[in-house]
Structures are given as structure tokens and as C-alpha cells.
């Protein structure tokens, strides 16, 4: 089945820490590729304390002129961009002379009596190491030599070198990294007086606005391409904080970490991914998100984000109908972590979060981004809708752990043969008693059921508890023709809401 790659986030954004998903851009779906260039060519990162502030700008937005001097803009910004080469030592398995065993090359590994994988009669292979290089791009954001790039460009690198526009090649150290946002901060050694790019405001970008990309595609350093902002707030499944700028400025492998400039020469994004097999579809991290994490990267070497401690999901049209909502905006709370920030604030499963600190939540995937912009210990204001009434609550955020503990699975989930199938009548699903309580979906007869799947365990119907299949059948019998039932469902380790329309008369 062909997926809609432009919005690959799942129906449930579980992750109680609001940080579920890939930590690195390499974990993006197969058709979304980080734009780092790997080559086959044959010092540990240092942390820096008491670093000076990084220069940024916050100029008010200005209207884009009908035309501007692209060549002059390119001359202005190219010296601010660096080509990055990283070197990583990797272990290789070869023959006794360090090369590939020719027998194994043609016939594969053969196992004889008492041998562990080498060819029959062949001497054991010898471990050797070689250096693997990768190419990327970065942008200087401070005259003292601070450079922003993608984390996946320098991930696991043993050595980082930057090539300046004036042909100097210098060593650089990794100051900080944020795999979740795919951003890294470097410091060029023994550098001063470098041309630095001002950081603009990505929020004010308009679709159709001209942008300039500068990068190192396929090792062709300081390549300049012109395009427009094709779209904003793209979610491509690359990580928990997807909010990409889409552009048709040409971006290729090696462009990773390179800047996207507006017509005034300000950085408005960092190019990070391309749509495999498509021309003119590239993605950049908005600079506003990068500015949020730069102080922590500079001072701590990592980023700490606030944790709300809940699971949530988008509001579909069917769910909005079942809940009597006037639209599909907001994030529907499906699960609460006991003792977490959300639980302490009095938030409950079934609440609809419609704003964070006064900023509306139009799409559910905006919630983790809004929360993550606040550090642990911060108090945030949440606007929720409960029983069709708006409420204001305050939540004191916890710290996101490095490896969040998953929600424990409910006993008896999955793999159990149903003892007795029961029809739910108006719902159009076949269920059985679920071990641990609830009604487990075994089969679906209603073509209108889109949010349920076999194996789901229904634990509530329109707010009423469902302890077994008989209780669900009783609740379904009260439904009116043409109504929509709101079901609370256990699905694996998660809890979600599903809406099931009841066929009309």
C-alpha cells in the first residue's frame, strides 16, 4: 500500500515524553533521505565551557521585492558557508594480507569441520580498519568560528574538518549535538574574524518567497541554487519535532547542514533531507527552532526539553462528530502517565488540548513542538476542552529521559484464541472477552469502520466502561442510527480513541 509520505506521522503520537520517533535524520522513512554525501576514501569531540554568545538577529519582516540581485546575494553569503568532511574509522574483515579473501569473494563464507566461517583450508581472516569519509555543509553563525550543521553529518565522526570559501581547511570540534532536531554546533579551531550569517525569522516566511541554498552537493563545494518556499510545517516522519520548510531550491547529497537564505541574506533554515526519486522537493529545519536550542548546545553540549507525560492523537472528522466538536483542531489526550506533569495538572484522558501558552494547536503534531520549546521545570499554560467546556490549566514540566520507559503492556494482549465471539450489532464488529478486561475485536463487518483493527481491545464506549464483550454489546444497543460512537481502545502498549459511525436507518 502506498503511503502518503508528506505526512507520515502515525495516528497515535504515543511517547509519553512527547518525544517518540526517530532520533536522527537517518531514521527517516526510506523515501526521505538525509542529504549527507558518503564517499569511499581511505580526536574525540571536545566540549567548551563559558562560550561567548552567538550573534543572531531579530529584524522585523520586510516585504519581498519583485526582483533582487541574486548574484550579489550569492557573493554576500557564500563566504559564510563551509564544506564539511568527516572521517570515521570502521572495522573491515579481510584476508590474511588485509585484502578480501578471494575464495570468500566468489563463494561466500564456507564452514568446514572445526572452522568458524573461513573458507575450507583458508587461513583465518584478519581484522583491519579503514577510514570512511562523509561530506556535508555548515554555516558560520559567529565570527569566532561557531558553525551550525546537521547532527547526522558529524554523527560518530572521529575527525571533522571544514573548508572555507577562501580555500583554508581547518579542524573543528563538536561543541554540542541534538539528534532529535538533527542539529549540531561546531567550533572551528584557531579561528577569528570570520564572516558570520545572521539568523532570520522563519515564522514570517511566506509560501512562494524566494530562497537561496548554498551547499556541498556531491563534493561540489559552495554550490548556489535558487528556489522558493514550496510549503511550511511539513511533517515527513523524520523525528518527533517535524516542522520542515519545503523548498524547490535544488538540494542533493552533500547539502546536509547547509543554510537556506532569504533575500536579505539571513538564514531561515538548515537543509536536511530530500524526497528520494523526486526533483525539487527538499526540506529544511526552520531557524526559529534552531535558535531555541543553540544556547543549550553552546553551554551544555546537549538539549534538555520539558516533558508533559501524556499520549495524544489527531482529531479525525469522525472523532469530532462523536465528541460534538466544531472542528478537527487540537490534540486529543489518549493516555496519561501516572504522576507525570499532565496528571499533576489535572489533565485527563479524553481532554482536547487546543492551545499551549496561548498559541493555538491547529494540528496534533504541533503539541510536542510547543511543549519542547520549554525547559524542564517551566510552567506552561494549557487550554483544554472537556465536556465541550474550555478550561485553563497550568503544568510544571518534567525532564525527558534519554530513553523513555515504554508503557507496560496490558496482561493477555494479543495471541490468545477467543473463547466466544459476540456480535456488537449496530457497531458492526465481532468481539470476544479480552483477558484483563475489555472486548477484543476479532472481525469487522461494518465497511464504515476505519479506526479499528483486529486485536484492538475496547475498554470504553461513549465514556462508559466496557468490562467484557457483553458490556460492549449492551452499550452498542443504546446507540441511535446515524450516530457516531466514541470508543477508548487499548492497542498494543498504547491507548487511543476510535470513532465508529452507526449505519443510518
**Any catalytic annotation for residue 256?**
yes
Residues linked to residue 500 through DSSP beta bridges, in sequence order: 485
pTM: 0.68
Cβ neighbours of 338 (radius 10 Å):
7
Catalytic residue among 152, 155, 222, 410: 152
For residues 369 and 391, what is the distance between their CA atoms, to the nearest angstrom? 21
Q: What is the pLDDT of residue 403?
A: 46
Spatial CA neighbour of 208 closest among 249, 236, 176: 249
Residues linked to residue 487 through DSSP beta bridges, in sequence order: 461, 498
Q: What digits encode the pLDDT tens for the residues 134-186? A: 889 999 999 999 999 999 999 989 999 999 999 999 999 999 999 999 999 99
Catalytic residue among 182, 248, 292, 398: 182
What three-state secondary structure class fits 318? helix
Catalytic residue among 202, 230, 256, 334: 256
Q: Is 233 exposed, middle or buried, given 0-12, 13-18 or 19+ CB atoms closer than 10 A?
A: middle
Cell numbers at residue 412, please?
A: 493477555
Q: How confident is the model at residue 427 (pLDDT cuts 50, 70, 90)?
A: confident
Q: Please, what is the end-to-end C-alpha distance for the chain in angstroms?
A: 33
Which domains can be identified in the chain, with CATH numbers?
A: 25-47+72-85+136-299 (2.40.10.120), 306-399 (2.30.42.10), 422-501 (2.30.42.10)
| Core vs surface per residue 283-319: b (16+ CB within 10 A) or e | bbbbbbbbbbbbebbbeebebebbbbbbbbbbbbebb
Spatial CA neighbour of 407 closest among 334, 330, 305, 332: 334
| Core vs surface per residue 404-435: b (16+ CB within 10 A) or e | beebeebeebeeeeeeeebebebbbbbbbbbe
Q: What digits encode the pLDDT tens for the residues 212-230? A: 999 998 888 889 999 999 9
The mean pLDDT value of the chain amounts to 79
**Any catalytic annotation for residue 182?**
yes
Amino acid at each position: 500500500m502506498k503511503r502518503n509520505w508528506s505526512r507520515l506521522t502515525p495516528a497515535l503520537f504515543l511517547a509519553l515524553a512527547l518525544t517518540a520517533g526517530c532520533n536522527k535524520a537517518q531514521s527517516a522513512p526510506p523515501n526521505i533521505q538525509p542529504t549527507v554525501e558518503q564517499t569511499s576514501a581511505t580526536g574525540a569531540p571536545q566540549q567548551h565551557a563559558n562560550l561567548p554568545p552567538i550573534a543572531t538577529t531579530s529584524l522585523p519582516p520586510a516585504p519581498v521585492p519583485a526582483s533582487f540581485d541574486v548574484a550579489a546575494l550569492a557573493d554576500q553569503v557564500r563566504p559564510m558557508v563551509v564544506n564539511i568532511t568527516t572521517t570515521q574509522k570502521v572495522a573491515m574483515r579481510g584476508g590474511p594480507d588485509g585484502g578480501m579473501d578471494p575464495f570468500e569473494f566468489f563463494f561466500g563464507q564456507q564452514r568446514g569441520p572445526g572452522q568458524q566461517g573461513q573458507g575450507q583450508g583458508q587461513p583465518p581472516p584478519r581484522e583491519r580498519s579503514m577510514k570512511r569519509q562523509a561530506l556535508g555543509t555548515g554555516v558560520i553563525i559567529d565570527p569566532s568560528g561557531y558553525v551550525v550543521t546537521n547532527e547526522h553529518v558529524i554523527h560518530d565522526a572521529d575527525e571533522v574538518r571544514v573548508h572555507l570559501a577562501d580555500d583554508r581547511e581547518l579542524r573543528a570540534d563538536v561543541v554540542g549535538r541534538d539528534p532529535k532536531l538533527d542539529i549540531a554546533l561546531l567550533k572551528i579551531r584557531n579561528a577569528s574574524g570570520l564572516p558570520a550569517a545572521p539568523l532570520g525569522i522563519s515564522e514570517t516566511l511566506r509560501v512562494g518567497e524566494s530562497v537561496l541554498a548554498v551547499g556541498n552537493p556531491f563534493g561540489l563545494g559552495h554550490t548556489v541554487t535558487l528556489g522558493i518556499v514550496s510549503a511550511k510545517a511539513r511533517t515527513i516522519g523524520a523525528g518527533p519535532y517535524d516542522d520542515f520548510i519545503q523548498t524547490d531550491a535544488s538540494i542533493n547529497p552533500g547539502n546536509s547542514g547547509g543554510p537556506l537564505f532569504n533575500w536579505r541574506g539571513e538564514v531561515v533554515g538548515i537543509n536536511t533531507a530530500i524526497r528520494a526519486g523526486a526533483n525539487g522537493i527538499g526540506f529544511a529545519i526552520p531557524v526559529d527552532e534552531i535558535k531555541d536550542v543553540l544556547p543549550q548546545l553552546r553551554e551544555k553540549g546537549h538539549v534538555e526539553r520539558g516533558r508533559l507525560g501524556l499520549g495524544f492523537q489527531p482529531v479525525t472528522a469522525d472523532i469530532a462528530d462523536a465528541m460534538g466538536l466544531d472542528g478537527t483542531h487540537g490534540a486529543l489526550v489518549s493516555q496519561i502517565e501516572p504522576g507525570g506533569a499532565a496528571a499533576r495538572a489535572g489533565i485527563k484522558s479524553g481532554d482536547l488540548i487546543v492551545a499551549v501558552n496561548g498559541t493555538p494547536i491547529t494540528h496534533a503534531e504541533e503539541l510536542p513542538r510547543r511543549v519542547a520549546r520549554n525547559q524542564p521545570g517551566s510552567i506552561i499554560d494549557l487550554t483544554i476542552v472537556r465536556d465541550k467546556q474550555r478550561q485553563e490549566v497550568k503544568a510544571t514540566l518534567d525532564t525527558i529521559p534519554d530513553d523513555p520507559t515504554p508503557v507496560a503492556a496490558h496482561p493477555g494482549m494479543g495471541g490468545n484464541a477467543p473463547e466466544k465471539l459476540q456480535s456488537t450489532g449496530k457497531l458492526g464488529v465481532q468481539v470476544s472477552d479480552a483477558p484483563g478486561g475489555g472486548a477484543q475485536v476479532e472481525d469487522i463487518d461494518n465497511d464504515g469502520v476505519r479506526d479499528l483493527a483486529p486485536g484492538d481491545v475496547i475498554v470504553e464506549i461513549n465514556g462508559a466502561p466496557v468490562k467484557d464483550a457483553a458490556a460492549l454489546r449492551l452499550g452498542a444497543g443504546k446507540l441511535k442510527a446515524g450516530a457516531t460512537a466514541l470508543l477508548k481502545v487499548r492497542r498494543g502498549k498504547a491507548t487511543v480513541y476510535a470513532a465508529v459511525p452507526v449505519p443510518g436507518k
